[in-house]
């Protein structure tokens, strides 16, 4: 979602719903003596927007094309890894070098006898 677009829509809605104060009308009349109404409007809008600055990126999330490319690369890399790898994540048929001590611990006599 485009954060700035969302904020602009909210700002428009807030302006439409804003109550007009008598003092605001007086200030506009004073400003009209110095500049045109459109310039006053642009300056006031800019002041409002300055007060609502967003810190961070304009967009949140990942662009659809970029996400599709990332998924495509992930799938391709996964297939290549599975196809080219002999390691499948297990111990295979090899026992660890600690297997004797593990077998000894599991025996009832405390491992004092050798296995035959």
pLDDT of residue 35: 95
Q: Mean pLDDT, to the nearest integer, of 78-104?
A: 58
Quick check: 2 and 58 in contact, CB under 8 A?
A: yes
Q: Is 85 exposed, middle or buried (0-12, 13-18, 19+ CB in 10 A)?
A: exposed
User: pLDDT band at residue 24, thresholds of 50, 70 and 90?
Assistant: very high
Quick check: 48 and 11 in contact, CB under 8 A?
A: yes
**Euclidean distance between CA atoms 4 and 70, whole angstroms:** 26
Predicted structure pTM score: 0.41
Question: If DSSP codes are grouped into helix, strand and coil, which group holds residue 2?
Answer: strand
- Mean pLDDT, the chain, rounded, equals 75
């Amino acid at each position: 979602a485009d954060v700035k677009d969302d904020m602009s829509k909210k700002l428009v809605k807030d302006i439409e719903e804003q109550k007009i104060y008598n003092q605001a009308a007086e200030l506009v009349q004073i400003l009209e003596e110095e500049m045109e109404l459109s310039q006053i409007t642009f300056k006031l809008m800019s002041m409002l927007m300055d007060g609502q600055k967003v810190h961070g990126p304009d967009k949140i999330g990942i662009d659809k094309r970029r996400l599709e490319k990332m998924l495509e690369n992930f799938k391709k890399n996964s297939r290549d890894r599975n196809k080219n790898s002999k390691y499948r994540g297990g111990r295979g048929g090899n026992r660890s070098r600690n297997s004797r001590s593990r077998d000894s611990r599991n025996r009832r006599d405390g491992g004092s006898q050798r296995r035959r």
